[in-house]
Amino acid sequence: MKLANLRSSSRSLFQLNRINIFSYSSQTSPHQPLVRKTFFKSNTNDGGLITRLCNENKFKEAIDILCNQKRLREAIQLLYQIKQPSALVYSNLVQFCRQNHALEEGRRVHAHMKSSGFKPGVVISNRLLDMYAKCECLSDARKLFDVMNEKDLCSYNTMISGYAKVGFLEQARKLFDEMRERDNFSWTAMISGYVRYDKPLEALELYRSMQISEKSISNKFTVSSALAAASAIQCLRLGKEIHGYITRTGLDSDEVVWSALSDMYGKCGNINEARRIFDKMVDRDVVSWTAMIGRYFEEGRREEGFVLFSKLLKSGIRPNEFTFAGVLNACADHAAEELGKQVHAYMTRIGFDPYSFAASALVHMYSKCGHVENAKRVFDGIRRPDIVSWTSLITGYAQNGLPDMALEFFELLLKSGTQPDHIVFVGVLSACTHAGLVDKGLEYFRLIKEKHGLTHTADHYACIVDLLARSGRFEEVEGIISKMPMKPDKFLWASLLGGCRIHGNLELAKQAAEALFEIEPENPATYITMANIYATASMWSDVVKIRKKMDDRGVVKKPGLSWIEIKREVHLFLVGDTSHPQSKEIHDFLVEISKKMKEAGYVPDTNFVLHDVEEEQKEQNLSFHSEKLAVAFGIIATPPGTPIKVFKNLRTCVDCHTAIKFISNISKRKIIVRDSNRFHCFENGSCSCGDYW
């Protein structure tokens, strides 16, 4: 036989595009090659074994070996060497395709069944359905389902679950309603689908139907989905009903159910019951810990959240990036920088992922706590900062009196190729506002839509109105408001009111105030601002009317509160506070430094107070406002030259702002004050805000 013919015959026999090996028998001439089927390259560990099995027609065993080695394509190629593959061969191949989400390979197996004339039974058909569903190819699954001669409970459950998981709830429900019989899986798949795609009412309605059904008994997954639905609508009554059923049926021994119960009570506002259930859980994982800690922060119970986080660290369970992000965001919201630093140190010790969103939370925490140097240091350690990290740093620079740095980093963001979103533009516009860069801010506002293809949001309009109103450009403000595609919100009207206060625009102030009275009549800030505007214009009768309106509506003034942390202890001060153990020393210091301030040119401003100062306006003696008390205590309680950082719940008043500039110069201290609006960094008699806040 000619060698060329042998090669041709070899190719037609094997059809696998594999290397044919010619070996010489000791009993034949070197010129007479002995051809053996070699199905796989001989340099693989099992190449010889696979070839031997195939030569012995043990294709199933060969396919199983290849599947276990995740060599699905090679396993499927062997189908073409079998005259009539068995049901077991097809079944195993489909199962491996399903396990590996190998859609294309699964389609090839299915196609081979059709071409070979194999008629799959309900078991193999169900495996094919499951494979298509797991690969989210519901169109192929439905085609198969529709042509199946025999369908069982598993067939329907597979289709319903597949539809529900990808949000095709109408199709899932139609099949569900067609079922002659249902089991727990049927009900749970449909209920969980409704929950997953924000249809809690439909989920609860179906759950009630299941309870009525005599044949159906809920399992842990069903009640967990029902609890999630009750949580979504924050219906504690329904949640308690489900809890009662869980207790009666003995499902309360399962950790999954305990976790769902704790989550339900937490989201429905009963955090104490959520904690009671949490404490009963035996196998609490990091998800359970993180959820419970987060609930405390959401409810404003900061200390309990931090204490529970401390217990987590002692439990031996390692926090994940969600845990760290939640705690760091709480530190940012409450200006708990020292605790944030401790969390950062712990993250560094255990080797957290510097590219996770926990790193973004670190940038946010340091920025909100007024430590932009640390925020920048963390930011520099992120290889590819996400938009959250960029936004946190840019906003941090803006709020800390460094608008030029904020705008510089925004330009770096654009050069990095990161697509800006609407939130980062709020930081950019705020930077322009704090710096008084009106034309620059207007240009950025225009580019949001024209260059970056974003839609102007209500926040963008509030920022641009704030920018223009502070500069007294009220005609432009009115033009922008009249052309807004949405109704102005409370933030826009408050920005306009603040600008009117600065420039004494009484008519526009009245318009803004009326809008705010309608939107949030319980907010005392609007009443106080209007009272100040009327007082500045010597319209005393109108001041009286505003005060009376407050009394008639039961609006209560929010007291000014300042605090400072010294040696890990927080010291709180109210206006005129005398409760502090060192109250005498504080007051003596303020009396003494007031004399030096007046000698240096300080004149107390008793006429002009910002609108957030509510309670402190009653005080005739400006020397004992809460932030001054906190600053004074910080100076007497720390060594000379130590920076002072004070926090206030309201916006600092003009007189305190002026006074602290003098105090910083006389005491040779760097004094940082974070009020409700921004950071003020006082040093050598000036403030980082440039007196523009």
State which residues of the chain have pLDDT below 50: 1-44, 608-620
CA distance 141 to 160: 11
Q: Which two tokens stand for residue 513?
A: 């105030």
HEC assignment per residue over 651-666: CCCHHHHHHHHHHHHH
Would you state the pLDDT for residue 255?
A: 81
**In degrees rounded to 5, what are phi and psi of residue 34?**
-100, 120
CB atoms within 10 A of CB 247: 11
Predicted TM-score (pTM) of the model is 0.72
Residues near 177 by Cβ (< 8 Å), separated by ≥ 6?
none
Measuring CA to CA, which residue among 576, 691, 679 is closest to residue 367?
679
Q: Which two tokens stand for residue 328?
A: 């760091």
Measuring CA to CA, which residue among 346, 383, 389 is closest to residue 366?
389
Would you state the pLDDT for residue 654?
A: 84
308-366 confidence digits (pLDDT tens): 999 999 998 999 999 999 999 999 988 788 889 999 999 999 887 777 778 999 999 99
Would you state the pLDDT for residue 628?
A: 94
547-591 confidence digits (pLDDT tens): 999 999 999 888 889 999 898 788 999 988 889 999 999 999 999
Would you state the pLDDT for residue 24?
A: 27
Would you state the pLDDT for residue 6?
A: 32
Contact in structure between 378 and 332 (CB atoms under 8 Å): no
